[in-house]
Amino acid sequence: MSSAVNTQSKTFGVLVDIPKCIGCESCSVACKLYNDLKWDPKRKAKTARERAQEPNKGLWADDWTSINLYEPEKNGQKVLRFVKTQCFHCLEPACASACFSKAFQKLPQGPVIYDQSLCVGCRYCMLACPFDILKYEWEKAIPGVRKCQMCAQRGANFQIPACVSVCPTGALTCGERDELLAEARKRIKENGYIDHIFGEKEAGGTSWLYISDVPFDQMRFRTDVTTRPMPSYSEGYMKLTPLVGISWAAVLTGLYVYNNKWKEPLD
């Protein structure tokens, strides 16, 4: 993907307007078709309500996005809300920081992409992911990690992600992240939504942003997630390591020389 097309300052994202989603699942179908993902007959038969109850929120190795149906409360009344689930494409992704072979990469344009040819298969990324999005091909002899790639190739051709391109209700909007944030604030005000853009600060900020008229924690959003960028948890440690290593080796050398000076060598 050419970085000359989009400059660093232009990072793209998608705004998900939860109340606008009618659960038609066009996005899921588009995702399957564009990414050439197989349908599993058993999983295909699951309803949006059932997927919402799954531990993986309806995401499997071959299902990169899922429309889940929740029943949150609004003004004391139960309402139905469809939530599109997929990788959040963090601004500073934990998976990329946790990967010791650089199999994950954050493109300046927004997508966090994965290259199986570099992957060793340690699955540290899966545990590091603050939203538990990454899935593994457990049934394969040579497995890889699977997740939404935010249609990075389409982005390179100035096209919006497949899922966004087919949304008939305007629940999904693709654009520059800063503009999306402004748009989100506007909609929150106009529609009386909850005053919270999920993804603005979560895990240090994500490319996918959610707004809603019902509390996020009733739709299995991880609202207690840290707002510190995930890589910052290990950055300081990794920076300190070479220094600590060299100093410790120097101390050991000193001790070795000093303690062996007056003694017969051991052998």
Partner 1 sequence: MESARKRWSFKITPMRLVFAAIAALAILIIIVRMILGLGATTNLNDQWPWGFWISFDVLLGVALAGGGYGIALIVYVLRRDQFYPVARSAMLTSLLGYVIVVLGLLIEVGQWFNFWRPFVSWGHSSILFEVFWCISMYTIIQVLEFCEIGTEKVFKGWHKYFKKAMPVLLIVGITLPTLHQSSLGALYYMMVGKLDVLWWSILLPVFFLLSSFFVGPGMIILESALSGRAFNHKVDPRVFQGLMKISGGVMIVYLGLKIIDLVVAGELAKAFAFDFVSIMFLLELVCGVAIPICIAFSKLSASRKGQITFGLLTVGGVVLNRFNVVLTGMRDYLSGTLGGSYFPAWTEIVVSAGLVSIACLVYLFIAENFSILDHRGSEPVKGVMIEHGKYAYFK
Pair 152, 111: CB distance under 8 Å:
yes
Among 99, 113, 166, 214, binds partner 1 (CB under 8 A): 99
User: What x-and-dash track marks residues 45-74 binding partner 1 by CB under 8 A?
Assistant: --------xxxx--xx--------------
Q: Please tell me whether residue 224 binds partner 1 under the rule CB under 8 A.
A: yes
Quick check: 130 binds partner 1 (CB under 8 A)? yes
What is d(CA 16, CA 45) in angstroms, rounded to the nearest whole number?
A: 25
Instruction: Report the 10 Å Cβ neighbour count for 107.
Output: 20
Helix (H, G, I), strand (E, B) or coil at 168: coil
Nearer to partner 1, 126 or 194 (CB): 126
Round to whole Å and give the CA distance between 80 and 65. Answer: 19
Q: 196: Cβ–Cβ under 8 A, 6 or more apart, which residues?
A: 211, 212, 216
Q: Which of 76, 46, 77, 78 is nearest to 59 (CA)?
A: 46
CB of 260 to partner 1, least distance (A): 6
Q: Between 121 and 168, name the residue whose CB sits nearer to partner 1.
A: 121
Identify whether the C-beta of residue 136 lies closer than 8 Å to the C-beta of residue 123: yes
Which one among 5, 80, 120, 182 touches partner 1, defined by CB under 8 A?
120
Rank residues 15 and 134 by Cβ distance to partner 1 and give the closer one. 134
Q: Find the binding residues for partner 1 in span 228-247 (CB under 8 A).
A: 230-231, 233-235, 237-238, 241, 244-245
Contact 24, 168 (CB under 8 A): yes
Q: Give the pair of three-digit tokens for residue 50.
A: 């059932």
In the complex, least distance from residue 64 CB atom to partner 1, rounded to whole angstroms = 13
Interacting residues with partner 1 (CB under 8 A): 53-56, 59-60, 94, 96-103, 116-124, 126-128, 130, 132, 134-144, 224-226, 230-231, 233-235, 237-238, 241, 244-245, 248-249, 252-253, 255-256, 259-260, 263, 266-267
